[in-house]
């Protein structure tokens, strides 16, 4: 039985549980990894780490061109119409576009990294090795986040939740292994540098991206084999069309980024890396309040596409109200704890 053929109640319940467990686990691991990093690195290096990730997230948004979010819509509509081959074609085209744009930008960043370093990292803390890791980090982050959207579009919320990035240490599994490596190095008193920390993050991310790629291909083959449509080319969209339709999603994503990450980037332009480190470490913890909204988003987005495609507006309205209420109540409680305690 395909995931998309399960009942709406099953998908919402299962997806909600997996999304919450994954995000809660990632939140705890992020705090743990940050605690270790702040003990093994100089404050300035910690500031460079967090500032670098904010820049990486911004770049990964740009190279995805908004077509990752568009993909959820197009794939969801294709799945609702049982056009499984069309959905797979959209996934492949979006992946190719993202790879081309991310590798192009990564190459430019590598060539002109001296300008990036001068503009953002005023204390000249970064090394030549960091110069090579930074563009690779951007490419891996873009692909990691893209894969999560594909899994989400196919209603595989479990895979989307446990593999998705979004934190400086990666997704749930990546954060877990990175935390274990860092803790082992800290416990043994090993000499640890900023380059080594980033290398550990990227190496672990690469391993899990290979696993994700295999899972994604298997999922696409399974769903595509269930396609009984006799018209395989119906509804296809070209690369130019994807970029055009993705532009509103890109603007929306950049706006959301500005609300969450731009404060760290702006602070990095005017203050020292030490101050960025203190600010970023504190705000990363406070922003865990957003976890419930993120969980609701991850579960509800493919459902919105499905019900909208089927024109079931009343049912969609009810589900959105329930999801918004369930997300706001625990977030409000945690916010009050932060304010008063």
pLDDT value of residue 55: 79
E strands, the chain, in order: none
- With b for 16 or more beta-carbon neighbours within 10 A and e for fewer, the 175-185 pattern comes to bbbbbebbeeb
Note whether 94 and 106 are within 8 A (CB): no
Q: What is the pLDDT of residue 4?
A: 58
pLDDT in tens, the chain (341 residues): 455 556 666 666 666 676 677 777 777 777 777 777 777 777 777 777 777 777 787 788 888 888 887 877 788 778 777 777 888 888 888 888 888 888 888 888 777 766 555 555 555 555 666 777 888 888 888 888 888 888 887 877 777 777 776 677 777 778 788 888 888 877 777 777 777 888 888 888 888 888 888 888 888 877 766 555 544 555 577 778 888 888 888 888 777 777 766 777 677 777 776 677 777 667 766 666 676 777 777 677 777 777 777 777 787 788 778 777 777 777 777 777 777 77
Give the distance, in angstroms, between the CA of residue 319 and the centroid of all CA atoms in the same chain. Answer: 24
The confidence score (pLDDT) of residue 193 equals: 79
Rounded to whole angstroms, the Cα distance separating 147 from 88 reads 13
pTM (two decimals): 0.70
Provide the 8-state DSSP code for 203: H
305 token code pair: 């596409």
Maximal C-alpha separation, the chain: 63
The span from the CA of 257 to the CA of 252, in Å, is: 9
Quote the tokens at residue 34.
């940050």
Q: Provide the token pair at 7.
A: 């009942």
CA dihedral sign of residues 200, 201, 207, 210: negative
- Cβ proximity of 85 and 227 under 8 Å: yes
Q: What CA–CA distance (Å, rounded) separates 93 from 74? A: 12
For residues 167 and 50, give the distance between their C-alpha atoms in angstroms, rounded to a whole number. Answer: 10
Quick one: how far is CA 341 from the chain centroid?
30
Start-to-end CA distance of the chain, whole Å, equals 48
CA distances for 189 relative to 42, 182, 186, 192, 294, angstroms: 15, 11, 5, 9, 37
Whether the CB-CB separation of 51 and 120 falls below 8 Å is answered with yes
Tokens linked to 100: 């081309």
> Which residues, other chains included, contact 255 with Cβ-Cβ below 8 Å and sequence gap of 6+?
none
- Which pLDDT does position 246 carry in this prediction? 81
Residue 35 neighbours by CB distance under 10 Å: 14
Nearest Cα to Cα of residue 57 among 263, 285, 208: 263
């Amino acid at each position: 039985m395909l995931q998309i053929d399960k009942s709406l109640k099953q998908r919402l319940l299962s997806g909600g549980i997996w999304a919450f467990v994954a995000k809660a686990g990632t939140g705890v691991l992020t705090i743990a990894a940050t605690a270790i990093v702040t003990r093994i690195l100089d404050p300035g290096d910690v500031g460079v780490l967090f500032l670098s990730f904010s820049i990486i997230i911004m770049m990964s948004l740009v190279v995805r061109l908004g077509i990752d979010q568009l993909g959820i819509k197009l794939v969801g509509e294709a799945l609702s119409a049982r056009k499984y081959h069309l959905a797979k074609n959209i996934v492949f085209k979006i992946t190719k576009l993202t790879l081309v744009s991310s590798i192009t930008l990564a190459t430019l960043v590598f060539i002109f990294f001296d300008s990036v370093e001068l503009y953002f990292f005023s204390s000249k803390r970064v090394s030549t090795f960091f110069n090579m890791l930074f563009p690779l980090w951007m490419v891996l982050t873009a692909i990691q986040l893209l894969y999560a959207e594909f899994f989400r579009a196919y209603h595989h919320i479990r895979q989307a939740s446990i593999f998705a990035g979004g934190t400086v240490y990666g997704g749930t599994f990546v954060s877990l292994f990175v935390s274990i490596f860092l803790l082992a190095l800290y416990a043994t008193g090993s000499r640890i540098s900023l380059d080594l920390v980033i290398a550990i993050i990227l190496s672990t991310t690469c391993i899990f991206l290979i696993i994700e790629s295999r899972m994604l291909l298997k999922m696409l083959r399974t769903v595509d084999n269930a396609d009984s449509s006799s018209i395989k080319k119906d509804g296809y969209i070209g690369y130019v069309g994807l970029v055009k339709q993705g532009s509103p999603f890109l603007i929306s994503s950049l706006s959301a980024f500005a609300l969450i990450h731009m404060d760290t980037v702006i602070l990095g332009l005017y203050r020292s890396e030490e101050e960025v480190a203190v600010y970023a470490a504190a705000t990363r913890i406070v922003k865990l309040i957003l976890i419930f909204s993120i969980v609701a988003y991850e579960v509800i987005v493919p459902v919105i596409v499905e019900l909208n495609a089927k024109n079931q507006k009343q049912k969609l309205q009810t589900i959105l109200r329930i999801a918004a209420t369930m997300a706001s109540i625990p977030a409000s409680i945690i916010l009050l704890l932060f304010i008063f305690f």
